[in-house]
Structure 1
Amino acid sequence: MVRPLHPSAHVDTFCRDNLPPRQQWPEFRFELPELAYPERLNCAVALLDDVIAESGPDRPCLHAPGQTWSYGELRDQANRIARLLTEKHGLVPGNRVLLRGPNNPWLVAAWFGVLRAGGVVVTTMPLLRTEELETLAEITGPALAVCDHRYRTELDPVGIPVLAYGSAEPDDLVAQCAAVAPEFDPVETSSEDVALLAPTSGTTGRPKATMHFHRDVLANADTFGRHIVGADPADVYTGTPPLGFTFGLGGLVVFPLRFGAATLLLEKASPAELADAIAEHGVSVLFTAPTAYKAMLAEGKAEQLRSLRRCVSAGEQLSEALWREFRERTGIRIVDGIGATEMLHVFISAAGDDIRPGSTGRPVPGFVATVLDLDGAEVPDGTPGQLAVKGPTGCRYLADERQRTYVRDGWNLTGDTYIRDAEGYFWYQARSDDMIISSGYNIAGPEVEQALLRHPDVVDAAVIGEPDERRGHIVKAFVVLTEGVPGNEAKIGELQAHCKRVIAPYKYPRAIEFRAELPRTSNGKLQRYRLRSEAPAHQTPVPRAAPAN
């Protein structure tokens, strides 16, 4: 018999109403004692008030260029935002609030303010364009948006009430907070109330919203954050992923605050600037993609990284060659890992002596993983197949039929092809779908195809990921133009500029090849695999005996 969910504190029942049917949920596992959460739980209270109760309000929390906020100051600002949202803007528990902005203290304060008010956070990538934001608004139904004033141009046409911050306007959120008392009683949400809707790219071109409970937010900290990154209140975290990525949200907000540490928020930093900031602030834990680790070495910045004790890599494959070069030049063993927005964060990884260079690692404590064939049966070690995982977090899509594809027989199927060796280490082979991972960004090939097809000169388009030495993969497009239109360098630039206007700029095709026609089946289905077969061979790791570290 399926246990009913704990009674909800949400007045707006949208999220519970749109959870997938329970029979379509994955199997959840809570064997670790630290995963036993109380029935009433607000993760924003656990991440702030619990630290303040133990260490006091003056403990440093958020660093940013030229400023530092203590835990107490962050709680005060979050309480002020919660008061404004509820008393002035009518927010009720369960309402969704869209957040848009770069990584800075006010974005974090807004995230906490929404949760303390019982709202549901929808944190978006700051580079999304109007049509992408319109789609997310259509899916998640936000009551209002909190947005950095520099990023509202693309948001205003969406038609959501916008509360902007960071400007000199008298109605700016920062100015309003200065006039509000910092007292607010956080809503006593259920541990099984939805805390956030995390957008993830869809391979059909339409994004999905993944639904995560208040307990889920803490569960990733209490598994990967505690057991692999290591819980140390003296740490200073930093990294490059936006908070709109759950990789960034966990690594730059949830993990450090769960254990009383501090985090350095950088709105934008080149690899050289990132390395200099690490040295300046004594950063000890870094979250970024392999591209950035490689670029910092290329910039001659190894000495600036001496304060680091943990370097975490995810988002794309970490090559064994880069791992070994980084260790040789810095003395640091990069922690690799695979995560998914559907799982909220990393679920396979390894640290210290447990690392096998070239391998993603083993299941993080609290998770189990295996490799399945197309019929859902486990395959022998050494055989490639579908990666499948279970743990305290898992996929719940908001009102989306693709739930049936991601979850089967209780397993979360990530869309990755892996091999498990006899020691239980998992070795990445390839993506199993049309998702392209470039410099740590997930880019859905069909979404780029749809953007190209909106150009009047494009008759047909296909998009694949092409291996690239610096970015892991790049987006490559094969385009059929209207008869008589020349396919030249000028047209390539025009199509690239077009894509940057209609979708987030990081998704644009960095390579475009013109074709007379594209390979299709007799019934018209695009055969991307034939285009992939023409690309340079993927360099995939081969399981081997564990080398010396």
Structure 2
Amino acid sequence: MMIADRFAYDGLPEANRLAHNPFVEFRRFKGNCTTLFLEKNIETGCGDNIALISENHSFTYFQLLELVNQAAHELTNIYGIQSGNRVLLRGYNSAAFAVYWLAIARIGAIAVATMPLLRKKELEVIAEMAAVSLMICEDELASELDSFSKNENTKLLLFNRSDFNVTLKKYNFSTNFQPFIASEELLALIGFTSGTTGKPKMTAHYHSDVAAICEGFPKYSLKPKRGEIFAGSPPLGFTFGLGGLLLFPLYYGATSLLIPKPAPEVLLQAIEEQGVTTCFTAPTAWRVMCEKAADYNIDTLKYCVSAGEALSAKVAKDWEEVTGIPILDGIGATEMLHIFIGSSHEKRKIGFTGVPIPGYEATLFDDFGNEIQEINKAGRLAVRGITGCKYLFNTEKQDAYVQNGWNFTGDIYQKDADGFFQFVARGDDMIISSGYNIAAIEVEQVLLEHELIKECAVVGKPDENRGMLVAAYVVLHESVSGNDELKIQIQNWFKEHAAPYKYPRHIEFVATLPKTETGKIQRFKLRTS
């Protein structure tokens, strides 16, 4: 079939700008990836098995297939969504979010999943860049969408996560829907990644990429089986969460437990009550959970996965001493879709991220483009394999990320004699705090809108609990005096104008910012101050 809306396809980089995949023997999936999560499980006898659990509601694979098909009819018949259209998703982790994501993919449209903490201005940028046709939003999060209701080009669908399935059934749509299959590789999703230029970047992934990641990290590290239950804290709008909490369990006929607001205590309680076997979360949450784990029965837990930021050796050691279960570290990227270097129970070292998982290879380069052969020498991490970066409408960034057939992630790593990769630092101004990627310049741009701020510079400061803290060095207007009360006022103001997880937890008022003769801010001086 022909794709109706070719906007995203026209923005894909040319073939000579893509990273090289040396794993030619890896079978590329051809078709609609939803059949791997739905029909495949029914055909292999999992139809009556529980696919999703969300807020005391459970859905078998039979029921999930019917709901996804009904949602696909809703999107096409009521909202006119066609193949290639971009559909923005906004909501907490829930069965409703999962059903709509699968329905979007099933009709050949492109999911643009966002995190619930994003604010109006950030959502407007995403919607404009992706030229979305429809915004699907949980009613609890609709307050930031006033501008969308006035945009004639963008339709709005609000849902209640507790009774969305009842609403779908009221339409009396057919529970059958033929998945869209194109005559070319079909795009499944666009992931937005923060950029050091202040404007986010769109990275695209095919249905075949979705299938590839399901054959990668989970098969190597987790060895999923039917009957196992996956849970965790990363949002489904974050590719770490999308893979770990939805795609991986469904691909292997397991169960996805989706928790809308998974604070560490809530997650521990869910592990105890639901018998969770596999948990995905960030190092910050693992640290908090370690302090409270003794209060819960988590004997069913077998696999603990950490990503989003470097896992400290202390957190890894403390968790294993308290629970007897190792944490499997990993590094992924929105550009690569999911984890490409990771650990397994059989192959791991505390303090190291791990080794390239099957389907990927990694190496290190120096600043002159030479591959580093020395052991324990830091260099720029480069990776290539079964997925790769595909920035839309951004040749400059594509050429910076993909060089000589390698994806350069922006991370500085070193490698030991056994081939284990160890994180050293970020190679740019990206701040990774509690698993969130925060571009320093994005925070600066928000702060500069404050009426009392004349200049500012934002850097990441090392922090034992969060990995890094967002630290802002602020120059106030001449007539203003800085004090602790003003710091709190600025922080509260920031949370009202941007996603709260981006706010500067450390604010320091300074008379001037260190600059070069040409006026460029010397952030490295602030990082070491």
TM-score, normalised to structure 1, is 0.92
Shift of 1:38: 4.4
- Residue 462 of structure 2 aligns with an amino acid whose one-letter code is P
Match of 2:158 among 134, 158, 164: 164
Distance in 1 (CA, whole Å) between partners of 2:293 and 2:354 is 29
Is 1:251 paired with 2:244? Answer: yes
Distance in 2 of aligned mates of 1:446 and 1:173:
41
What is the aligned partner in structure 2 of residue 386 from structure 1?
A: 380
1:190, CA displacement in angstroms? Answer: 5.2
Partner of 2:17: 24
The residue number in structure 1 matching 2:27 is 36
The aligned counterpart of 2:83 is: 93
Structure 1, residues 255-282: CA drift from partner, whole Å, max 9, x if none? Answer: 0011000011000122122111101000
Question: Does 1:413 pair with 2:426?
Answer: no
1:395-414 pair list within 5 angstroms: 395-400=389-394, 401-414=396-409
- SS of the residue aligned with 1:460? strand
The percentage of aligned residue pairs carrying the same residue is 44
Alignment partners' CA distance in 2, 1:393 and 1:384: 24
The partner residue of 2:109 within 112, 119, 128 is 119
Q: Shift of residue 168 of structure 1?
A: 10
1:286 and 1:368 map into 2 onto residues whose CA distance is 26
Residue 503 (structure 2) aligned to one of 498, 505, 508: 508
Matches within 5 A, 1:62-211: 62-158=52-148, 159=151, 160-166=154-160, 175-179=167-171, 180-189=173-182, 192-211=185-204
Aligned counterparts of 1:305 and 1:473: Cα–Cα separation in 2: 29
* Equivalent of residue 288 in structure 1, options 243, 259, 281: 281
How far apart are residue 303 of structure 1 and its match? 4.5
- Provide the rounded CA distance (Å) in 1 between the counterparts of 2:237 and 2:162: 25
Residue 176 of structure 1, CA deviation: 4.4
Match of 1:372 among 365, 381, 387: 365
Kindly indicate whether the alpha-carbon contact (under 8 Å) linking 2:108 and 2:187 is maintained by their aligned counterparts in 1.
no
How far has the Cα of 1:37 moved from its partner? 2.9
Q: Does 1:328 align with 2:321?
A: yes
Structure 2 contact 316–350 (Cα < 8 Å) conserved? yes
Contact kept in structure 2, 1:38 and 1:191, CA below 8 Å: no
Shift, 1:178, TM fit: 2.6
3-state SS of 2:309 partner: coil
Quick one: structure 1 residues 461 and 28, their matched pair in 2 at CA, closer, same or farther if it must change by over 3 Å? Answer: same
Quote the Cα distance in structure 1 between the aligned partners of 2:367 and 2:402.
13
Alpha-carbon distance change, 258 to 191 in structure 1, aligned in 2, over 3 angstroms: farther
Aligned to 2:39: 49
Aligned with residue 14 of structure 1, among 7, 16, 20: 7
The structure 2 residue matched to 1:439, chosen from 427, 434, 437, is: 434
Query: SS of 1:352's equivalent?
Result: coil
Q: 1:15: Cα distance to partner? A: 1.5
Structure 1 pair 414/269, CA: closer, same or farther in 2 (3 Å)?
Answer: same
How many residues matched? 522
Q: Is the 8 A contact 1:64 1:104 kept in 2?
A: yes
Q: Where does residue 520 of structure 2 map in the other structure?
A: 525
Query: CA 1:190/1:232 → structure 2, altered by over 3 Å: closer, same or farther?
Result: farther
**Counterpart of 1:391 in structure 2: which amino acid?**
G
Residues 388, 412 of structure 1: 8 Å contact kept: yes
Q: Residue deviations 1:154-192, cap 9 Å, x none?
A: 1231332111111899xx885244322212111113572
**Greater mean alpha carbon deviation, residues 115-124 or residues 65-74:** 65-74
Instruction: Find the aligned partners of 2:408 and 2:481 in 1 and give their Cα distance.
Output: 43
**Which contiguous aligned blocks of 4+ residues in structure 1 show a shift greater than 6 angstroms?**
none
RMSD: 1.6
> Quick check: 229-238 or 286-295, which moved more?
229-238
- Give the distance between the partners of 1:167 and 1:342, measured in 2 at CA: 29
Question: Cα–Cα, structure 1 residues 372 and 513, in superposed 2: closer, same or farther, change >3 Å?
Answer: same
Name the CA shift for 1:156/1:182 in 2 (closer, same or farther; >3 Å): farther
Deviation at 1:215, TM superposition (A): 0.4
Structure 1 position 473, deviation (Å): 1.1
Q: What is the identity, as a one-letter code, of the residue corresponding to 1:529?
A: F
Do the aligned partners of 2:194 and 2:437 also contact (CA within 8 Å) in 1?
yes
Query: How far apart, in 2, do the equivalents of 1:309 and 1:176 lie?
Result: 36
1:347, 1:367 within 8 Å by CA — same for their partners in 2? yes
Change (3 A) 1:134 1:146: same
The offset of 1:502, in angstroms, is 1.6
In the aligned structure 1, how far is the partner of 2:405 from the partner of 2:454? 42
**Residues 62 and 70 of structure 1 are in contact (CA less than 8 Å); yes or no, is this contact kept in structure 2?**
yes
Verify the 8 A CA contact 1:318 1:358 in the aligned structure 2: yes
1:361 aligns with 2:369: no
> Which residue identity is paired with 1:36?
R
Deviations 1:203-229 (A, max 9, x none): 111111110000001111101011112
Unpaired segments of 5 or more residues in structure 1? 1-7, 535-549
Q: Please list the CA deviations of residues 80-121 of structure 1 after superposition, one character each: whole Å capped at 9, or x if unmatched.
A: 111111112111110010000000000000001111111000
Stretches of structure 2 lacking an aligned partner (at least 5 in a row)? none
* Structure 2 partner of 1:466: 461
Question: Structure 1 CA distance, aligned partners of 2:119 and 2:243?
Answer: 24
CA–CA distance in structure 2, aligned partners of residues 256 and 29 of structure 1: 27
Structure 2: how far apart are the matches of 1:419 and 1:343? 20
2:436 and 2:162 mapped to 1: Cα distance?
33
The alignment partner of 1:474 has SS state of strand
C-alpha change, 1:168 and 1:115, in structure 2 (3 Å) is closer
Q: For the residues of structure 2 that align with 1:30 and 1:396, how far apart are their CA atoms?
A: 18
Give runs of aligned pairs for residues 252-291 of structure 1, distance below 5 A.
252-291=245-284
Equivalent of residue 230 in structure 2, options 237, 262, 265: 237
Whether 1:427 aligns to 2:422 is: yes
Shift of 1:325: 1.6
Q: Give the TM-score of the pair, scaled to structure 2.
A: 0.96
